[in-house]
A = this chain, B = another copy of it.
Amino acid sequence: MSKKEVIVQSAMRIFTEKGVEKTTISDIVKHAGIAQGTFYLYFPSKLSLMPAIAEVMVKTTLQAVIDTVDQSSSFQDRLRQFVEAIFDVNRKYHEIQAMIYSGLASTEHLKEWEAVYAPIYEWISQQIAQAQNEGLIRNDSPPDPLAKLIIGLTESAAEQIYLYDEIGQDSRAIKQKEETLKFLLYGLGVPS
């Protein structure tokens, strides 16, 4: 693992543990096992880590989705698996998600964020296009906007549950997943 990757991994860990604001660069370099100055060879500031972290998260998310969704299942099952995957990633990494969102907001270079998120949008978009072709879902909206609405709905639903960092919320999570799936199926015009 390169020094740059070590820094990103360490930052993700520490950010998750104690929050972005309370994390110092000193914390990160200590955990990464490198010298203070070495950090600045790779990143000019704490916030400039965000795009790199976001990229990791997007990869992780996309990988989780791809690993969870069984392409031989029915569309409804695949959608259920998708929701499951998104909720799962949010459960594990909700602090990082919030962090990225906040870092995103305080960045000037917003343009690059769209590029970072593109892989997920594209994957969903392809699934949508295919399902439309097969007549599994409604055909009166283009795939791209649908993809963005789907990921937006699912992630906000997951955040509503997992932002509140508590235990024993399984039943609430299960219900929320069910309702989200139902809303998605209706929203996509899947005949029930």
Give the interface of A toward B (CB within 8 A). Answer: 19-22, 47, 95, 98-99, 101-102, 104-106, 110-111, 113-114, 138, 140-141, 145-146, 148-149, 152-153, 155-157, 159-160, 163-165, 175-176, 179-180, 182-184, 186-189
Contact = CB atoms under 8 A, between A and B. Distances in A.
B179 A141 contact: yes
Nearest to A101: B101
Contacts of A21: 21, 47, 106
A114 B164 contact: yes
A141 B187 CA distance: 14
Contact of A186 (B19, B138, B163): B138
Nearest to A161: B148
Contact of A106 (B19, B111, B140, B175): B19
Contacts of A99: 105
A98 B99 CA distance: 11
A182 B141 contact: yes
Contact of A102 (B22, B101, B114): B101
**For A99, A138, A182, which residue has the most chain B Cβ atoms within 10 angstroms?**
A182
B149 A152 contact: no
Contact of A149 (B148, B163, B179): B179
Nearest to A110: B164
Contacts of A148: 157, 160
A40 to B, nearest CB: 13
A169 to B, nearest CB: 12
Contact of A187 (B114, B163, B183): B183
Contacts of A106: 19-22, 102
Contacts of A140: 182
